[in-house]
């Protein structure tokens, strides 16, 4: 009898932890502006390349500084993300990704440059459509299979 009570409490606690994690992941997806997460632009365009049916990115060993080197990461993340994004129109991705030429690109503590790496427009507002919808779907769904550091 006592074992059943402990198992029931453990199961409830586990569900609370999972739901809390998913709530935090959803909050992260909504709170962090598009393309402002670490390497998000690079990951997105590799996933888009795959989702558009162009296959895996072929990386040129002579050009390893390219953003396409993200194609060298383990492919399961990209395959799952491409499957989620495949049926969403991302043809406006180049418009949504409007790079800020003087934005702070990861220089921690640098307060002399604007914080945003891209310019943000009304296209990112809710209700999400096209590329904005695809990115939010990918971020939220990746919470289920992404390794936490």
Range of the domain at 36: 32-142
CA distance 16 to 9: 10
pLDDT confidence bin for 141, thresholds 50/70/90: confident
> Are 78 and 50 in contact, with CB atoms under 8 Å apart?
yes
Residue 88's pLDDT is what?
Answer: 95
- Distance between CA atoms of residues 3 and 97, nearest Å: 55
Assess contact for 82 and 47: CB atoms under 8 A. Answer: yes
pLDDT: which is higher, 55 or 3: 55
- Tell me the percentage of the chain whose pLDDT exceeds 90: 38
User: What pLDDT does residue 112 have?
Assistant: 66
Q: How many domains does the chain fold into?
A: 1
Residue 7 lies in a domain: no
Q: Do you find a cis peptide bond into 127, omega within 30 degrees of 0?
A: yes
| Residue 30 to residue 113: CA distance in whole angstroms | 24
Residue 80 resides in a domain: yes
Take residue 52 and report the two structure tokens written for it.
């558009």
Q: How far apart are CA 141 and CA 26, in angstroms?
A: 9
49, with CB counted inside 10 A (0-12, 13-18, 19+), is: middle
More confident residue, 64 or 121: 121
Kindly tell me if the per-residue pLDDT of 149 is higher than 50.
no
The residue written with tokens 């492919």 in the block is 75
Task: Tell me if 60 is assigned to some domain.
Answer: yes
In a domain, 63, yes or no: yes
132 in any annotated domain: yes
Domain contains 76: yes
Predicted local distance difference test score (pLDDT) of residue 76? 87
In-domain check, residue 6: no
Is residue 148 over pLDDT 60?
Answer: no
In angstroms, the CA 44 to CA 41 distance is 5
Does the pTM surpass 0.85? The reply is no
Assess if residue 11 is contained within a domain: no
The pLDDT tens digits of the residues spanning 60-117 come to 777 666 555 665 677 888 899 999 999 999 999 999 999 888 876 655 555 666 678 8
- What is the C-alpha radius of gyration for the chain, rounded to an integer number of angstroms? 19
């Amino acid at each position: 009898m006592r074992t059943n009570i402990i198992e029931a409490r453990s199961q409830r606690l586990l569900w609370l932890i999972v739901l809390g994690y998913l709530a935090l992941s959803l909050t992260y997806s909504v709170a962090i502006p598009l393309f402002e997460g670490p390497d998000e632009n690079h990951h997105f365009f590799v996933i888009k390349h795959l989702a558009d049916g162009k296959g895996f990115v072929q990386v040129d060993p002579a050009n390893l500084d390219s953003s396409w080197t993200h194609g060298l990461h383990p492919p399961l993340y990209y395959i799952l993300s491409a499957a989620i994004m495949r049926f969403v129109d991302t043809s406006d991705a180049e418009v949504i990704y409007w790079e800020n030429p003087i934005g702070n690109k990861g220089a921690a503590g640098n307060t002399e440059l604007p914080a945003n790496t891209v310019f943000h427009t009304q296209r990112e507002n809710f209700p999400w459509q096209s590329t904005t919808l695809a990115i939010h779907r990918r971020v939220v769904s990746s919470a289920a299979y992404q390794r936490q550091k």
